[in-house]
Amino acid sequence: MKLSLMKRFYDTVEERRSPVLDEIAGRWFESYEAWTHRASANFVAKVVYGETTYFLRFNHETERSTEHIEAELRYISRLIDRGINANVPVPSLSGNLVESVDTGLGVFNAVLFKKVPGVHIETEDLDTNGFQLWGQALARIHTAGEGQEIRGAPSWSDHLDAIRSIAKDIPVLRSEVKKLENVLVRYNQTANYGLVPFDFEMDNINWVCDSPGFMDFDDFCYHWHAADIAYALRDIHDDRMTGFDPDDSRFRSFIEGYRDVKSISDEELERIPVFIRLHNLHMYSRIQWSIEGDPDGPDWVVSLRDKLRSKNESYLRDMAENPL
């Protein structure tokens, strides 16, 4: 999201509570407890009603449209229908899954999900079996997403369009985009291609013993399955094309688990460095958009802005030193 929007919202927050949050949560409950939880691509709040915990996700209408959210919910519904344990959206008091709420900061589009049971496990805490289970879980979601046609779902080509608008004035980005265009056009979009979550990191999975439950599908899109694998495992290759090692034991365990459920060829996996670079460019464009016109502010705003700028500078250095 825009850093300027994040600041405006947190200017209303005191002790993790906000009148803006209350306006939005009130569309679902008349009596509840709500606290801010985190903010990144979206605002997320923890809402407790009775003895049940929910997570309320919302963003400004200029950053996340109702059409996008409704398409995401159709995707989640189809995953659930096909046996995937995904976070379940909850209707509002008016019976709507998506609410648009006019607040003092403008209109926010919001959706409420039941909390996914289980515990979170960090990537660095996974053993061989854990990586295999993670791979199996993603393969099941890929299988469930195959053949789905959902109106309003974005695709990798939309990502590339956003990258082009940012890259036009930066030679190294223009060069990488051109190379990607020449490579991606040759990839088959029928086999091991379809709707994917595109943010299947361990932060978005809760575990009950060996059974995973999934949340946070708002980055869903049409993409190659190998690209989704590349992004899910970004921590183990340090989010760098040159950091990818197909002989890494963690990667091999993940793929072993994946192949227990779904086939994927070595040739497809060899494309992972290309997909890492595509994702680097995608993230560069999102970060650049986020910090455009960002305001001066308290220390946390300055620190976050500097961190994001540093991340983009590292992307540019890596692309210049290790072109595709």
Side-chain-facing half-sphere of 132: CA atoms under 13 Å: 8
| Helix or strand holding residue 278 (H, E) | helix 272-291
The residue type of 237 is H
pLDDT confidence bin for 296, thresholds 50/70/90:
confident
Vertex 151, ends 147 and 157: CA angle to 5°? Answer: 80
Tell me the percentage of the chain whose pLDDT exceeds 90.
94
pLDDT confidence bin for 190, thresholds 50/70/90:
confident
Read out DSSP for 26-45?
TTT-SS-EEEEEEESSSEEE
pTM of the predicted protein model: 0.94
d(CA 266, CA 263): 10
Q: How confident is the prediction for the chain on average, in pLDDT?
A: 95
- The token pair that represents 297 in the structure block: 């502010």
Domains recognised in the chain with CATH numbers? 3-114 (3.30.200.20), 123-321 (3.90.1200.10)
- What separation in angstroms does the CA of 257 have from each of 142, 194, 252, 260? 13, 20, 9, 5
pLDDT in tens, 61-110: 999 999 999 999 999 999 999 999 999 999 999 999 999 999 999 999 99
What is the length of the chain?
Answer: 324
